[in-house]
Chain A
Amino acid sequence: MWLPLLVSCFYVVAFSLWTVGLSFTRSSLLPDYSWTGWHNYSAILASRNWQIAYTNLYIYGIGFVGLATLVGLMLAILMDQRIRGETAFRTIFLAPIAISFVVTGTVWGWLFNPTIGLQKLAHDIGWASFHLNWTVDRDMAIYAIVVAAVWHGAGFAMALFLAGLRSVDSDLLKAAQIDGAGAWRTYTRVILPGLGPIFVAVLVMLLQFAIKTYDLVVALTAGGPGLASTLPAVVVYDFMFQRGELGRGSAAAVMLLASLAVVLVPYAAWSIWRNRRATLA
């Protein structure tokens, strides 16, 4: 009966170590277990694809995480004003969670397509100077991915913030009201500081998603034009299965994992520390 648990653990550990192992070998199309040391890593780090992908990841990571958090927080605050139709609004904002990145990317691809998308609509209604051709524009393609990702992820941020807002201590709010604090001050001084842990959770979840983003890029721009919107996860796949360089691809995958660790390890340490403190208090 402990077998499934054993399989789970074995799978996670063995498959990861396997890929780590492959990253130090000369494997090309087929696994080849002859050792090459750090050679694959230096080759990946020196490759143009990887450098562009990481530059893109910074732009996309900051843009997506920042905007999705901002939109999510704003929606949550608006939703928390005893509005009419809260269920309808929530259903709409959270619907993207049930929609695949392939579908998301495909449809945003149409909207950004200059011949059938929003640009065409604007031109048809007489707004001739309107330009929106991001998916075919080298400088803007990565922002098209930001928009589609925000569309997909802002509802998630909203749901977490809303849960946080609903659990704010009423005594704190009453005290703020007795002190005559206005809405702005109540939010910036009383409510939002109390949401600190939720901010951290939202940022970490969105950021780890950003680092792993793959399908959305494939469906929306296929990494293009050229390499303009490629991301590390796309480069990993490209090395592994398009170029047939399993060793290089594995090294890239391990570096992807390392990037993830930079975000998740401090978060895990912080969560454990917080739990310890909570149980001690």
Chain B
Amino acid sequence: MPRPHVLGHPHYWQRLAIYIPLCAFALFFLLPIAVVLVNSVRSTQDILATSVIGWPAHVLWSNFAFTWSRFCIAEHCTGIAPYFSNSLVMVVPATIVSTLLGALNGYALALWRFRGDRVVFAIITLGVFLPAQMNLVPWVIVLRELGLFNTIAGLVLIHVVQGMSFTTLFCRNYFVSIPADLIKAARIDGAGFLRIFWRIVLPLSPPILIVTVIWQFTGIWNEFLYGVTFSAGENQPVTAALIALSAHISSEPQYAEQSAAVLMAAGPPLLIYMLGGRYFVRGLTAGAVK
């Protein structure tokens, strides 16, 4: 049954009072996105002559090809492409592995009572909120020992281990609603830990796995601090390259090319947001209200 409504049927002026602020805020939220979209097809001279808010004098699609493969970032004129592919090579395995391990952990925490399970849960929750600065130095030491410093593999390792706290918590919060009797019955039938996970829990998990994959992908793609600390030069992910780009802007600014670079760096998570927006909201409310 729909709930009764505070304003009943709003009058004309009431409707104005609703839509005017909504549209004003929509403009505020859209402005930076529009700026990036439009400036990516303008020329830098055009931007400098007017401002970043302006219609293109000529639509320059060529910005994209140039930024992708020839643009100079910190003296390397390789374009954004290698950094983009670094991000991709980092994010795909890190997302898949951290999600799978998180599902396994969440299952163990939610459905298998064991001694100290509350302590484990508390520690993992702590891991979600812990500032990254608390583990930067240990990671430097560990990565050097493993010979993974300044490699994509090192970043994958960090994102898997760090991401596991987050994915475990997500999956655990979802799995606690699976009835314990279901697991009990399976155990009486002789099914073990992994068999129950495989046959009962995973088939029930697609909703939470989708949410987790989307959040992990977005989070890891957009992450900057680990990228800039543990990789340098040509091994950096695209977020770190963007900062290198604006820090090393040589003699003349290149706002148009930078806009194209920003658009490409923001592209993959935005695309996922457009396709799976409702899962974002689900993740938000699941993560915070519980």
User: Chain A: residues with CB nearer than 8 A to chain B?
Assistant: 1-2, 4-5, 7-9, 11-16, 18-19, 22, 31, 71, 74-75, 78-83, 89-104, 106-111, 113, 115-118, 120-121, 124, 151, 155-156, 159-160, 163, 168, 170, 173-174, 177, 183, 186-187, 191, 198, 201-202, 205, 208, 211-212, 214-215, 218-219, 222, 233, 236-237, 240-241, 246, 249-250, 252-254, 256-257, 260, 264
Contacts and interface: CB of A to CB of B under 8 A. Distances in A.
A18 B137 contact: yes
Interface of B: 1, 3-7, 10, 18-19, 21-22, 25-26, 28-33, 35-36, 47-48, 50-54, 101, 104-105, 108-109, 120, 123-124, 126-127, 129-139, 141, 161-162, 164-165, 168, 193-194, 218, 221-225, 229, 239, 242-243, 246-247, 255, 258, 262, 265-266, 269-270, 272-274, 277, 280-281, 284-285, 288-289
Contacts of B284: 97, 156, 159-160
Given A8-B164, A102-B222, A97 B273 contact: yes
19 contacts: A1-B193, A8-B124, A8-B161, A11-B127, A11-B161, A12-B165, A19-B137, A97-B284, A98-B269, A98-B270, A99-B269, A102-B222, A102-B224, A116-B47, A121-B54, A124-B51, A163-B289, A215-B239, A256-B131
A187 B5 CA distance: 11
Contacts of A159: 281, 284-285
B193 to A, nearest CB: 6
Contacts of B262: 103, 106-107
Contacts of A90: 277, 281
A168 B3 contact: yes
SS of B interface (majority)? helix
A69 to B, nearest CB: 13
Contacts of A156: 284
B108 A100 contact: no
A211 B129 CA distance: 11
A101 B123 contact: no
B134 A15 contact: yes
B133 A246 contact: no
B270 A99 contact: yes
A254 B134 contact: yes
A198 B289 contact: yes
Contacts of B246: 106, 109, 219
Nearest to B126: A12
Given A9-B124, A91-B274, A100-B269, 7 more contacts: A8-B127, A11-B127, A12-B130, A92-B29, A100-B239, A102-B242, A116-B51
A85 to B, nearest CB: 9
B133 A117 contact: no
Nearest to B276: A98
Nearest to A246: B137
A208 B25 CA distance: 25
Contact of A163 (B21, B28, B138, B285): B285
B50 A91 contact: no
A278 B104 CA distance: 29
Contacts of A236: 133
B173 to A, nearest CB: 13
A236 B105 CA distance: 32
Contact of A71 (B25, B133, B242): B25
Given A9-B120, A79-B22, A81-B18, A170 B4 contact: yes
B135 A160 contact: no
A173 B21 CA distance: 25
A13 to B, nearest CB: 6
Contact of A19 (B25, B31, B135): B135
Contacts of B130: 12, 16, 257
Nearest to B258: A106
Nearest to B34: A107
B30 A12 contact: no
A93 B4 contact: no
A92 B31 CA distance: 11
B133 A253 contact: yes
B255 A15 contact: no
A200 to B, nearest CB: 11
A106 B124 CA distance: 33
